[in-house]
């Protein structure tokens, strides 16, 4: 007998890549999913089974999601909430369905996290917070929340996408996922930066080559897909791969099979694939710069890493870790009070990587035990000195700007804004009241 406490979803989607991506994601979120590829199959099931919600594409090979909904309404049935997936050209149809009683719609290309949030709201379902509090990624709420999801992802997610600015620690998270999976801890972790390899060499780097495949190929060589077999492959800056390579990459991601350059034999690989980028892949899809099918194939699970300026609790925490690393090398230093204030007052455009370099440089070049602001920043970088009162005002101003920016990015939606900031909705509301910020939209 099925567990009635687990929400039961009806997924109506004929596209195999999209359907598999949605199925994988919803199952990872803890849902039971009934996937239908045709209107006829879905029509019979919705009238017969007790679904918590229905997620349906508008266009189907033998009809449409719209027809399913209308025909069910005509039967006078009590229907579960319907959420429709639509392209920009069909938004008017989706709006018309809302007027008939549909719950919501989302347009392609969409953010899977946003879709999961919408479905969770329709089902009244929320993922229980993880009790694990041993965060290796930072002490801010945002990074603790990411850390809490990693053990489950390490066990169940074969493909992930990590996004965030350069230097935020995307590879660190990928390595942590690899470490947490007991099946891969003694297997290889292979990392490659797609943006650092020329287009002419990228295919051979990814898939390997046979002897004589091109000038200089004096022997066969395994590519990173084969090197990572049994472990984890980390493809950094996936957004920088050319369109011509994305076609071949899609096949490797989808089938877990590759063919070496100059070869004809398919080689199966069994690995976890973690992709990362600082680019906005959804925008690139809309502009035709990134394949939509590859986007949905690698975007089953997305981990969004906020920049260091949006999680200031982590600045001194990381600084102390880097100081301990330097102490192990014989350079034992500590931050002066003004040095700490200078770190907190800096914008950190290079994120954690920039912070590490600042600590390392200052530790090596400073003869005394204390690191002052002038040692931490090169000329022109150092923030203006502040006293305690000014620092508090400065940090409050930073907090206000970050909250306003987050509200703007999330169209004034308090729930999504709170989630992006790593705080509760109540905490966000209290901060907005204190800072006299009114909701947007």
33: β partners: 9
CA-closest candidate to residue 142, choices 164, 117, 109: 164
Q: Is residue 136 part of a domain?
A: no
Domain hosting 272: range is: 141-304
**Over 90: is that where the pLDDT of 190 sits?**
yes
Give tens-digit pLDDT for 73-117. 888 777 889 999 987 666 778 788 887 888 888 888 888 888 988
In whole angstroms, what is the distance from residue 22 CA to residue 95 CA? 23
Q: Is residue 174 in a domain?
A: yes
Is residue 334 scored above 70 in pLDDT?
yes
On the 0-12 / 13-18 / 19+ scale of CB atoms within 10 A, 309 is middle
Predicted confidence at residue 89, as pLDDT, reads 63
pLDDT band at 406; cut points 50, 70, 90: confident
Looking at the structure, do residues 321 and 419 belong to the same domain, yes or no?
A: no
- Would you tell me how many other CB atoms lie within 10 Å of the CB of residue 353? 15
Residues 175 and 291 in one domain: yes
What is the reported pLDDT for 132? 38
376 and 409 within one domain: no
Q: How many domains does the chain have?
A: 4
In b/e form, how buried is each residue of 266-282, taking b as 16+ CB within 10 angstroms?
ebebebbbbbbbbeebb
CA 305/CA 174 separation, integer angstroms: 12
pLDDT tens, position by position, 315-333:
988 998 999 889 888 888 8
Q: Is position 3 within any domain?
A: no
pLDDT the model gives residue 384: 45
Residue 39 lies in a domain: yes
Label residue 134 by pLDDT band (50, 70, 90).
Answer: very low
172 and 297 belong to one structural domain: yes
Pair of tokens at residue 211: 């002897």
Distances (CA, A) of 182 to 24, 151, 152, 155, 231: 21, 10, 12, 8, 11
pLDDT-based confidence at residue 127 (cuts at 50, 70, 90): very low
Residues 392-399, mean pLDDT to the nearest whole number: 65
Residue 436, pLDDT above cutoff 80: no
Q: What is the mean pLDDT of the chain?
A: 85
Q: What is the mean pLDDT of residues 365-375?
A: 91
Q: Which of 188, 197, 187, 177 is nearest to 238 (CA)?
A: 197
25 and 145 in a single domain? The answer is no
Q: pLDDT grade, residue 121 (50/70/90)? A: confident
Query: Which of 93, 123, 153 lies at the terminal end of a domain, its last residue?
Result: 123
- Of 283, 184, 293, 309, whose CA–CA distance to 234 is shortest? 184
The residue out of 304, 332, 348 marking a domain boundary is 304
* 186 and 89 belong to one structural domain: no
Same domain, 292 and 198: yes
CATH number of the domain bearing residue 329: 1.10.8.60
pLDDT exceeding 70 applies to what percent of the chain? 88
Over residues 235-284, the pLDDT tens digits come to: 999 999 999 999 999 999 999 999 999 888 999 999 999 999 999 999 99
Check: CB of residue 221 under 8 Å from CB of residue 261. no
Neighbours of 113 (CB within 10 A): 17
- Domain-located, residue 363: yes
Q: Is residue 176 part of a domain?
A: yes
Based on the domain organization, do 356 and 264 belong to the same domain? no
Ranking 160-169, 221-230, 320-329, 432-441 by mean pLDDT, the lowest is 432-441
Rounded to whole angstroms, what are the CA distances from 432 to 148, 429, 441?
Answer: 27, 5, 15
pTM strictly above 0.85:
no
Q: Are residues 222 and 77 in the same domain?
A: no
Choose between 384 and 240: higher pLDDT. Answer: 240
Residue 379's pLDDT band (boundaries 50, 70, 90)?
Answer: low
Residue 131 lies inside a defined structural domain of this protein: no
Q: What is the CATH number of the domain that holds 401?
A: 1.10.10
Give the domain CATH number at 165.
Answer: 3.40.50.300
Interacting residues of 51 by C-beta distance below 8 A, sequence separation 6+: 8, 9, 10, 34, 80
Whether the per-residue pLDDT at 1 is higher than 50: the answer is no
Does 422 map to a domain?
yes
Give one DSSP letter per residue of 81-137, joined into a string: PEEEEE-GGGHHHHHHHHHHT--EEEESS--HHHHHHHHHHHHT--PPPP-----SS
68: closest CA among 123, 14, 27?
Answer: 14
């Amino acid at each position: 007998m099925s567990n009635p406490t687990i929400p039961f979803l009806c997924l109506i989607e004929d596209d195999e890549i999209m359907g598999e991506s949605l199925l994988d994601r919803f199952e990872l979120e803890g849902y039971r999913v009934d996937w239908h590829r045709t209107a006829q199959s879905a029509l019979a099931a919705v009238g017969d089974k007790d679904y918590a919600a229905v997620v349906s594409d508008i266009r189907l090979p033998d009809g449409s999601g719209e027809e399913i909904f209308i025909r069910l309404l005509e039967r006078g049935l009590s229907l579960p909430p319907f959420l429709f997936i639509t392209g920009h050209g069909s938004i008017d149809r989706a709006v018309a369905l809302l007027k008939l009683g549909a719950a919501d719609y989302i347009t392609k290309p969409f953010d899977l996290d946003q879709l999961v949030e919408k479905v969770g709201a329709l089902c009244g379902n929320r993922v229980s917070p993880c009790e694990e509090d041993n965060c290796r990624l930072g002490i801010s709420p945002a990074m603790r929340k990411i850390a809490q999801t990693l053990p489950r992802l390490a066990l169940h997610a074969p493909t992930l996408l990590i996004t965030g600015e350069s230097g935020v620690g995307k590879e660190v998270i990928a390595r942590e996922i690899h470490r947490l999976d007991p099946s891969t801890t003694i297997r290889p972790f292979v990392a490659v930066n797609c943006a650092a390899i020329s287009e002419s060499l990228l295919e051979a780097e990814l898939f390997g080559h046979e002897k004589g495949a091109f000038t200089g190929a004096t022997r066969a060589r395994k590519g990173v897909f084969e090197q990572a077999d049994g472990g984890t492959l980390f493809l950094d800056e996936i957004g920088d791969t050319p369109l011509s390579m994305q076609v071949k990459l899609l096949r490797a991601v989808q089938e877990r099979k590759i063919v070496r350059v100059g070869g004809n034999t398919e080689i199966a690989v069994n690995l976890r694939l973690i992709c990362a980028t600082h680019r906005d892949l959804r925008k690139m899809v809309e502009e035709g710069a990134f394949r939509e099918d590859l986007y949905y194939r690698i975007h089953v699970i997305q981990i969004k890493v906020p920049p260091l300026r949006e999680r200031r609790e982590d600045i001194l925490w990381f600084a102390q870790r880097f100081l301990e690393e330097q102490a192990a090398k014989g350079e034992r230093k500590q931050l002066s009070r003004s040095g700490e204030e200078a770190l907190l007052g800096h914008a950190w455009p290079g994120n954690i990587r920039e912070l590490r370099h600042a600590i390392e440089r200052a530790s090596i070049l400073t003869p005394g035990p204390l690191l002052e602001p002038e040692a931490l920043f090169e000329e022109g970088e150092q923030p203006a000195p502040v006293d305690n009162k000014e620092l508090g005002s400065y940090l409050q101003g930073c907090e206000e700007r970050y909250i306003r920016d987050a509200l703007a990015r999330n169209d004034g939606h308090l729930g999504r804004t709170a989630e992006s900031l790593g705080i509760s909705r109540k905490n966000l509301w209290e901060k907005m009241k204190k800072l006299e910020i009114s909701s947007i939209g």
